[in-house]
Each structure stands twice: as structure tokens, then as C-alpha cells.
Structure 1
Amino acid sequence: MFRAWQFLTTVIGVIFRHPVTGTTIIPILPDGRIVLVRRQDTGQWGLPGGIIDWGEEISTTVRRELAEETGLELLKICRLVGVYSSPERDPRLHSISILVEAEVQGALGVKDNLEISEARAFARDELPLGNLSHDHDRQLQDYLKGLTVVA
């Protein structure tokens, strides 16, 4: 009985006391514009992305989240921009985000209306920097500076 209790408490600890892993995506359209999404909960702009589902590879998560939040199709993941793990990066929970640059195509159209109210493409000089959701200001600035970051 004691061993079963130890096992159960270990499993619960693993589930509830470890960060959640997700992806954040910098979608680049063929004309070079960057796509951002407006969050329903805060009204802030941010980068699309989400939690990696059990049994899912990062590329599959990127493809799924792009389709749900922007309506766009993933052409290819271009590069790893960074991994962001600060416990303060997401106000809801401790999450680790894997940031990738991705070439995308298609027509903008939000499919996940519970999370996202709008998707829009911005020229680099028109990005609404300064008040993006989560730590997306930092992520986007790191990308624009050409950095690869582990933070």
C-alpha cells in the first residue's frame, strides 16, 4: 500500500509541479510580413502558438496552432529562435515556450474564436511592439535582432 501511495504522489507531482511545454511561432508570409493574433482574454496582440499535445511533435503543434489561430498553412520551419522558460513569462502558469520562425501561406482566418479574436499581418516597421502578450515583446525583439536565445 505504501509503495502505491508513493507512486501516486510521484505521478501527481510530475503532472502538477512541472512546466507545460508549448510552441510560439513567428509566421512569415511570402511578402515578408509577420502575422500576429489578438487574444480574446486580454485584447493584446501576440504571436500564435500553444501547448504541445501528448504524443505530438513540435512541427505538428506548429502546423495545428497556425491553422487554428491564423488559418495559415505551414510551409516550413526555418529556424529555432529560442527557448523561453521564465516562470513569469505566462501569467496563467509556468510554461516553457519553443520559439520558431516559420514560412507560411494562405488566407488569414481565425478558427479558434474562443482564444483569438483577430489575426493580422504587419510589416516589420508596423509591429505593435511594447505591449504584446506574455513575453512576446522579448521573443519578437530577439528574433528581429537575429539572436538565438535560451532564457
Structure 2
Amino acid sequence: MKPGLKVVAFARRIAMALTFHRRAVTLGVRIAVFDANGHVLLVRHRYMPGWYLPGGAVDPGESAPEAALRELSEEAGLAGTQPPRLVGLYRNLREGGRDHVAFYRLDRFEAQPNALAPNREIAEAGFFAFGSLPEGTTPATLRRLTELSDGTPPPADW
């Protein structure tokens, strides 16, 4: 290899390494919450279409289970009365493959005064039977609920 090409190749490797380190891995959470009738909680955001499991980003200094319970409180006004159970850790390819989602399940909670009330972020929230999910339930939400209902092992990708 010519000396000039060696410099270019070295510079390219350095640039790729710096780019790799700048794009941090991100972590989000989703939580499947079931009531005493086995109905699942779904939320509809004001800023994007579809029905989702509650969730969001893990904040600095926060654990993933703490984030799941915080998001549940913020989005639906419910407080977990037990630790959420980790179902799986998924890679979210829609966000470039460096985003990951920790998926939790919760079967015990209590309502706060603002339970299921619309807020700045959430247009609607409610509990739905698996066979009667609202129109617009997202494909990823349907996949996660199907896995929970039939015991399918979680895949690697969200």
C-alpha cells in the first residue's frame, strides 16, 4: 500500500472509532401492566399515532425498573405495588441498532388520584382485553402481548 493510502486508511479508522464512541447506546423501557381481569394497559400519545405499552427513556442515575415505574406513573397515574418483572431486553433496529428496550411486566398496582386521566403527553389510557385491543395498536405492542400470552421466548429485536 502506498504511504498516502496508509494515512487515509488510518484516518478513516480513527474517524470511524470517534463516530462509534459519540453514538452512545440508549436504553428505554416498556411495561405491560395487567389488571385483575387480565386486561392490559395501553396509552395513546398526543405526539405520535397508535396505542402503546407505557414507557420511555431511562434517565441518568435511574435504573431500568425505576424508569418503568416512573413512566407508568407519569403516563397512566398508576403506582406499582411490587417490583416489575423483566421479560426481556431487546435491540430497537428502528433507532439504528444502538437503542435497547427493557420490557417489564407488572400485575399489582394502585391508582393515584390522576389515574388514566389525559395529560400533556397522553391523550388516552385504558385497560383492554387481549381480544379487544383498540384499532391502531402498534405492531411491536401486538408482538410483545402475543409473546406474553402464548409464552413465546422473546426475540432479540423489538
1:3 is aligned to: none
Report the RMSD for the aligned CA atoms in angstroms.
2.7
Cα gap change, 1:135 to 1:94, in 2 (>3 Å): farther
**Are residues 1:62 and 2:46 paired?**
no
> Offset of 1:32 from its aligned partner?
2.1
CA distance in 2, matches of 1:116, 1:42: 10
**Are residues 1:136 and 2:141 paired?**
yes
CA contact (8 A) 1:81 1:147 kept: no
Cα gap change, 1:105 to 1:66, in 2 (>3 Å): same
CA distance in 2, matches of 1:78, 1:147: 19
Of the two, which has the highest radius of gyration?
A: 2
Correspondence for 1:100 among 98, 104, 117:
104
Cα gap change, 1:102 to 1:125, in 2 (>3 Å): same
Hey, which of these two has a bigger chunk of helix by percent? 2
CA contact (8 A) 1:85 1:97 kept: yes
TM-score by length of 2: 0.72
Give SS of 2:81's match: strand
Task: Supply the AA of the counterpart residue of 2:146.
Answer: Q
Give SS of 2:42's match: strand
Q: Give percent identity, aligned residues only.
A: 28
> For residues 113-142 of structure 1, what are the alpha-carbon distances to aligned partners after superposition, in whole Å with 9 as ceiling and x for unaligned?
2x321111112221237x433722222221
**Are residues 1:26 and 2:20 paired?**
no
Give SS of 1:68's match: helix
Gaps of 5+ in 2: 1-13
Gaps of 5+ in 1: 1-5
TM-score by length of 1: 0.75
Q: How many residues align?
A: 138
> Offset of 1:95 from its aligned partner?
2.2
> Offset of 1:53 from its aligned partner?
0.7
CA contact (8 A) 1:26 1:34 kept: yes
